[in-house]
Each structure stands twice: as C-alpha cells, then as structure tokens.
Amino acid sequence: MKSKQFTLFALILVQILEQFMINVLAININNNNNILPLEHVTTTSLLTNNEASKLLLSPESYLSLSHYHSTCPDLEGIIHRQVQAWIRKDYTFAASLIRLHFHDCVVRGCDASILLSHKGSERRAKVSKTLRGFRIIDEIKAEVEKKCPKTVSCADILTAAARDATVVAGGPFWEVPFGRKDGKISSAREANRLVPQGHENVTTLIQIFRDHGLNILDLVVLSGAHTIGRSSCDAINHRLHNFNGTRKADPSLDTKYLNSLKKKCAASSHVYVDLDATTPRIFDTAYYTNLGRNMGLLSTDQLLNSDARTGPFVSVLASQPLVFSSQFAASMVKLGNIGVLARPNEGEIRFKCSSVNRAY
C-alpha cells in the first residue's frame, strides 16, 4: 500500500515536471525572434512538414550538449587540459581567449571567422591588433584532428576554450552547447565597423549588443570579464593628458589611480595596464567595485557606472558575487549562440583554423 501511494506521488510529480518543461519550451519558442509567424507557415501549403519545421527552428536550436558525445568523447578534456596548461604558463591568456571569442561572435556570429588569416580578414583588422591566443586554438585543433579527424569545428573549440579560460581563472562553469560550423567569409572592414573599441558612448554600446540579441544586463555582465583583462596605454592615454582638448586629465578618474596610470604609461604607449586595478588575476567583482570608486580604466568601463541605464546593474553586481557568476555564465551562453552556422548545409568543419578548406 505504502509503495503504491509512493508510485502515485511520483507519477504526479513527473506530470507536473513535464508540464513545467512544456511551458518552458513554449516560452522559449515564443521568445525566439527568428521564427516565422505561425499563420505564415500553415498557409504556405507548398511547404512540406519537414521544410516548415526547419523554418521554425532557429540556428541555435541545432546546437546540443551531446553533439560530440559519440564522435569525439574526449573533446572537452583535450580543450580543458591545453587551456589550463597555457594559462598556468601565462595567466594573461585567460582574458585573451575570452576576448578572442567575443571578437569572433560580434562579427558574423560565432563562426571562427576571426581565426582566418588571409589578406583583409578580421584577424588583420586594426581592432584585432592586440588579439592573442590564436596559437592555443591551433594547437588544440591539431590534437583534436588526431583524435577525431574532420569532426570538430574551430568555432566550437574557441567557444569551449573561452569557457575553460573563465573556469581556470576562477570564474563560473557552464555547459557549452556544440554544433557550430565554421564560416568561409572574414572581413577586416566589418570587424573595424562592428567591434567596440573602448571609446564608444553607452548608447552605442547598448545598440551594438542589442543588434546581437544581447540586452543591457548582458552588456554590463560581459564587461565584467575585464576583471582579469588588460589594455595598452595606447587606448587610455587620451584620458590621462589633454582629455577632450581640456589639457587636463579626464575629471572622472580617481586622482590616486590617475597618478599611478600616468607613472605606468610614461614609459611607452605599448605598456599594458590591468583593467581591474585591485585584483587583476582573480575572476571576482572587484571590477564593479572599482567602477564605483572612479577606477575604471577604459572610458567605456567608467561610463557603465555613471549611466542611468547601466549604473544600477553595476551596483548590484559589485555587491553580489553569486549573481555575477551565475549571470556571467548565462550571458556567455547567449554570446556563444550568436549567429551560429548550425543548420544542415551551412558552413564547414575547417581542417585548419587559419584557412578555409580548399574546394575540390
């Protein structure tokens, strides 16, 4: 009798859970901007069921956590071990890999277009000048090709490497959905137009993120990756001297911080300074706390604190480390799903990450 009651209880629980999952799925589908209005599909009688369902599915819905489970079971192990080894040798690679992934995704989606190395490619653009980590991806790809040839895309490797870089730096873990394919087009001109360079105003930043389906919270949270990043003095010298033609420093900079920056940057414009002045090697919320003390390195960092649209998020994140880590994970998944080439017949699996496959 007891066990019968228990079985009934379990059955009810399963049903509640199932209904919950259906609701969640319905919400996800309703939130999806890429789908056609349902009337359109049902009235277009020429479409087969199969074609109609393809139109309904967004590219990212082709991604899956189990994509390589049978075709390359140790993929994530290979990526993690290499990323960890590189970052142990030089911790600054953690920020470099996250930045490389971001630069990839904001131009033509996360399709590894940033890795292509030919004349006029994104990688050769002015905004890409200080990108690093290409060799790490190449070496991971070489090992992956040995174990599972012609199977894993460079776009998926770069996405997982950014996740592992976060983890090795002490940040949160999240599951990466796989199944991206690699793009064949890469343009320096597009990169120069689309990638934020550190001097935009908040309206422009919000617009850039919105164009990729990322909201204001995503903007503030992903900027939190600057907790481990660096920037060249080149990018901030205009804030230290003769700001906006005033012959003085940017008045929004804390005086002590300003003086330490002037000292560091006096040597050369190629010197690097930490974006998080207090705990540059730790993935924490000090970046946000520092913004509240006028210690944001880039003007785009400092503006996030003073702008009425983004400032409230900065204050919350500064004092809520758990909110920051869980939301960083969520926003990184969103970033990694931008404009993916995942439908059948889209993109290719590159043999080498730096060049498209030759046509036969």
Ligand X SMILES: *[C@@H]1O[C@H](CO)[C@@H](O)[C@H](O)[C@H]1NC(C)=O
Active site residue 103: yes
Give the contact letters, 215-244, x = binds to ligand X (CB under 6 A), - = no.
-----------------------------x
Find how far residue 41's CA is from the centre of its chain: 33
Gyration radius of the chain's alpha carbons? 23
Contact 122, 187 (CB under 8 A): yes
Quote the least distance from Cβ 87 to ligand X, whole Å: 36
Could you tell me the smallest distance in angstroms from the CB atom of residue 239 to ligand X?
Answer: 10
What is the nearest approach in angstroms of ligand X to the Cβ of residue 203? 5
Q: Which of 204, 215, 269, 357 binds ligand X (CB under 6 A)?
A: 204
Q: Is 234 annotated as a binding residue?
A: no
Residue of 103, 118, 212, 238 with catalytic role: 103
d(CA 221, CA 228): 13
Q: CA-to-CA distance for 123 and 186, rounded, in angstroms?
A: 8
Is residue 53 close enough to count as binding ligand X by CB under 6 A?
no
Q: Is 279 a known ligand-binding residue?
A: yes
Length of the chain: 360
CB-nearer residue toward ligand X: 279 or 306: 306
Q: Is 226 annotated as a binding residue?
A: yes
Which of residues 244 and 355 has its CB atom nearest to ligand X in the complex?
244
Q: Does 203 bind ligand X (CB under 6 A)?
A: yes
74 assigned ligand-binding residue: no
Contact 343, 59 (CB under 8 A): yes
**Residue 204 CB, nearest distance to ligand X (Å)?**
5
Selected range binding ligand X among 111-119, 197-205, 253-261, 278-286, rule: CB under 6 A: 197-205
DSSP 341: B
Q: Calculate the alpha carbon distances from 108 to 105, 111, 151 in Å.
A: 7, 7, 22
Give the residue among 48, 26, 187 at the shortest CA–CA distance from 111.
187
Task: Judge whether 34 and 59 are in contact, CB under 8 Å.
Answer: yes
Alpha helices in 212-251 (DSSP H): 216-223, 237-240
Closer residue to ligand X, CB minimum distance, 238 or 293: 238
CB nearer ligand X, residue 245 or residue 344:
245
Pick the piece of the chain touching ligand X (CB under 6 A) from 12-20, 145-153, 196-204, 351-359: 196-204
Residue 94 near residue 169, CB atoms below 8 Å: yes
Least distance in Å: CB of 51 to ligand X? 42
C-beta of residue 287 within 8 angstroms of C-beta of residue 324: no
Distance between CA 206 and CA 210 in Å, rounded? Answer: 6
In this chain, which stretch among 11-19, 55-63, 119-127, 201-209 interacts with ligand X, using CB under 6 A?
A: 201-209
- Nearer Cβ to ligand X (163/239): 239
Q: How far apart are CA 16 and CA 327, in angstroms?
A: 27
Residue 241 known to bind ligand: no
Three-class DSSP category at 158: helix
CA neighbours closer than 13 Å in the CB half-sphere of residue 344? 5
44 vs 244 by CB, closer to ligand X: 244
On whether the CB atoms of residues 235 and 99 are closer than 8 A, the answer is no
Is 201 an interacting residue with respect to ligand X (CB under 6 A)? yes
Which residues does the annotation mark as catalytic? 103
Binding residues for Ca(2+): 104, 107, 109, 111, 113, 122, 227, 276, 279, 284
Binding residues: 104, 107, 109, 111, 113, 122, 196, 226-227, 276, 279, 284
Residues that bind ligand X (CB under 6 A): 201, 203-204, 244
Binding residues for substrate: 196
